[in-house]
Structure 1
Amino acid sequence: MPEGHTIHRAARRLRSVLAGNRLDRVDARGAQLVEARAAQRLQGAIVTAVEARGKHLLIHTDTGWSVRSHLRMDGAWHLYRRGEKWSKSRRRAWLVLGAGEWEAVNFDGPILQIQRTDDMLRNPVLTELGPDVLVEPFDDAEYLRRMRRAAGREIGDAVMDQRTIAGIGNIYKSESLFLTKVDPWVRVRDLSDGELVAIREVATRIMQDGVLDARAITYKGPGAPGRWAYGRSGEACRVCGTELLSRKQGINQRTTTWCLSCQLVGRGERQPDRVLPYPGAAPHDDDYVPRYDD
């Protein structure tokens, strides 16, 4: 499932060609419409905003109607110049928004709604979201309040709950817990506020990189760029050499990858130097300075 950085990246790209422009073509063959004429409400409308909220992408117009998209596992947003050949079959297009020389195309949905903006913004799937990990300034107090409500849950499960913190998915769960040396299987109640905030801060920084580089690269030390933990089950830990482990976690049984030797925080073993130089630096690279300019 696309994580928050993918949605923020898509929102940024769509915003660059849609915001402030009039929609001169709307084809909503796959969208879920709240009324038969909903798609027509977008025709001729001016796009006022394109935003990401967690894993939801919202397109607002001056007619008071909006689009909400959630890509799940298979959906995607593409941009094409008018007349350019599409990379996917037109039969897979759920929504086409044309504005001047550009077309924004949603392929394969699978959640795509057009409805009144006021009604959309009252939808519990949006109102119940936790603070977005990529929206600044981040509300750490609200994040901690929501985390403490999940005191009995394993931290690797809790950080994936969009009602607690919006935007973190499976890749960045494993990566942020590895980089903060937090055991993914300890309970939220076993972690201090400082440790919970450290997880969030690292997740924000590595996902900011992901907005700029869609590959979600977090490791940039010696050897090929890649990741610290996610997708490396059975391989050697880049820090200590221990074999990385993987196991299903949470009610959705998502895979968590971790190092049994490095990730000790929460087991009663506090490590004040637990956060590795970030983002993506080798453990010895203390002079690494991240750049976030676009």
Structure 2
Amino acid sequence: MPEGPEVQRSADLLHDALAGQTIRVLEARTKVAKAWLKEHPDVFAGKRVEKVWAHGKHLVGSVEGGLFFHSHYLMWGRWMVVAPDAPEVETRDRRERARIVTDETAALLYSAPKFNVGMGDPYEHIPALPLLGPDVLDEPFDADEFLRRLDLEPQREIGTALLDQRVSAGIGNYLRAEILYECRMDPWRLVGDLDGAERACLAETTPALCRKAYLEGGRTVPDEIQTLETDDRDMRYSPHAHAWNTKHWVFRRTNLPCPTCDDYVRQKHQLSHSWEDADGKTIEKKRIIYYCPTCQGVAPEHVKPARPHKDRRPPDSEWAAPDEEKDPSYT
């Protein structure tokens, strides 16, 4: 799932392409937006896009006349900007969910299940928006509000709390793992058990690491660590030094050596949230957390035995070509 840095880059892309431009066409295929546009035909036509911004994983655009559009990528969504006469505009892709076309550009939304349009304040019409915590890319980051929201549920595990968009907006699975690693923190520690130094580390590391990921295409490690993971064959899955395998401390590096100590990175499912269905049955959703047991002082009950990748990987000659290779994040 794209996280705060990726959505912010999309917002930057759309703002640069659309701000100040007059909309010729705005269309949607999502059910709610399509119905709203049917009730308000051509309401966006001739209106100027004022601003596009991100709040966490949500992307919002304001249009003159009090109009707005809103999208959320979930797992696979993405915006693409092309010329208004590009083949992508002429040929409808079945994955397309919305399009905004001006005289100079076209913005196409693919594979995102959430696209909304409306009139008024989007924070009053999109239920998730007013619940969001401070954006991890805000400058300055509201660390006091972040910690206040974190403290509302002291019995939560910190690895679970960081995924809650009501605590801070924009953290997903890769940022969660990397923040906890940099703070040398056990993902299963309870929020209420964190000491002052640990809380200060979270408040400082969260915006700093997210800003780095935003500026550097998702990279969370310094140059010297990426060089280490690139040059040492045992530090990556593939014989090819792909960026996805060399730009993180622990995320998707299961059974590879920790870049800091002699231990191996592990993964384990951790409860992210739970709810009751209509029959009163508790439903639990879990996400994979990546961690180094030694560096993060993880409690023994959460540490699976290491299965060093170098001891069971296929010969380099058997690997697929780079453009055919798949992510081999072994469990």
TM-score (normalizing by structure 2): 0.75
Q: Which residue of 2 aligns with 1:42?
A: 44
| Distance in 2, Cα, partners of 1:86 & 1:202 | 40
| Distance in 2, Cα, partners of 1:39 & 1:173 | 42
> In the alignment, residue 6 of structure 2 is paired with which amino acid?
T
> In the alignment, residue 177 of structure 1 is paired with which amino acid?
L
Structure 2 unaligned residues grouped into runs of 5+:
231-245, 274-284, 301-331
| Distance in 2, Cα, partners of 1:237 & 1:168 | 22
- SS of the aligned residue for 2:144 comes to helix
Which 10-residue stretch deviates more, 125-134 or 198-207? Answer: 198-207
Instruction: Tell whether the 8 Å contact from 1:23 to 1:46 is kept in structure 2 after alignment.
Output: yes
Q: Which residue of 1 aligns with 2:269?
A: 248
Instruction: Tell whether the 8 Å contact from 2:97 to 2:111 is kept in structure 1 after alignment.
Output: yes
- SS of the aligned residue for 1:91 comes to coil
- Structure 1 vs Structure 2 CA RMSD: 2.2
Structure with the greater alpha carbon radius of gyration? 2
Q: How many residues align?
A: 267
Structure 1 unaligned residues grouped into runs of 5+:
268-294
- SS of the aligned residue for 2:137 comes to coil
Q: Deviations over 1:158-197 (max 9, x none)?
A: 0000011110000010001101111111001111344223
Instruction: Tell whether the 8 Å contact from 1:76 to 1:109 is kept in structure 2 after alignment.
Output: yes
Which 10-residue stretch deviates more, 101-110 or 185-194? Answer: 185-194
Equivalent residue in structure 1 for 2:135, among 132, 141, 144: 132
Map of 1:227-246 to 2, 5 A cutoff? Answer: 227-246=248-267
Q: Which residue of 1 aligns with 2:204?
A: 201
| Distance in 1, Cα, partners of 2:215 & 2:122 | 32
Instruction: Tell whether the 8 Å contact from 1:79 to 1:103 is kept in structure 2 after alignment.
Output: yes
Query: Is 1:78 matched with 2:111?
Result: no
Give 1:208 deviation, angstroms. 1.7
| Distance in 2, Cα, partners of 1:141 & 1:120 | 22
Query: Is 1:218 matched with 2:251?
Result: no
Q: Which residue of 2 aligns with 1:26?
A: 26
- Identity within the alignment, %: 31
> In the alignment, residue 214 of structure 2 is paired with which amino acid?
V
Q: Deviations over 1:104-123 (max 9, x none)?
A: 11112210111123254353
Give 1:91 deviation, angstroms. 2.4
Higher RCO structure, 1 or 2 (CA under 8 Å, sep 6+): 1
Map of 1:273-292 to 2, 5 A cutoff? Answer: none
Equivalent residue in structure 1 for 2:148, among 136, 145, 148: 145
| Distance in 1, Cα, partners of 2:253 & 2:153 | 28
Instruction: Tell whether the 8 Å contact from 2:123 to 2:130 is kept in structure 1 after alignment.
Output: no
Which 10-residue stretch deviates more, 128-137 or 256-265? Answer: 256-265
> In the alignment, residue 266 of structure 2 is paired with which amino acid?
L
Instruction: Tell whether the 8 Å contact from 1:28 to 1:39 is kept in structure 2 after alignment.
Output: no
Instruction: Tell whether the 8 Å contact from 1:60 to 1:117 is kept in structure 2 after alignment.
Output: no
* Counterparts in 2 of 1:91 and 1:103: CA distance versus 1, 3 Å: same
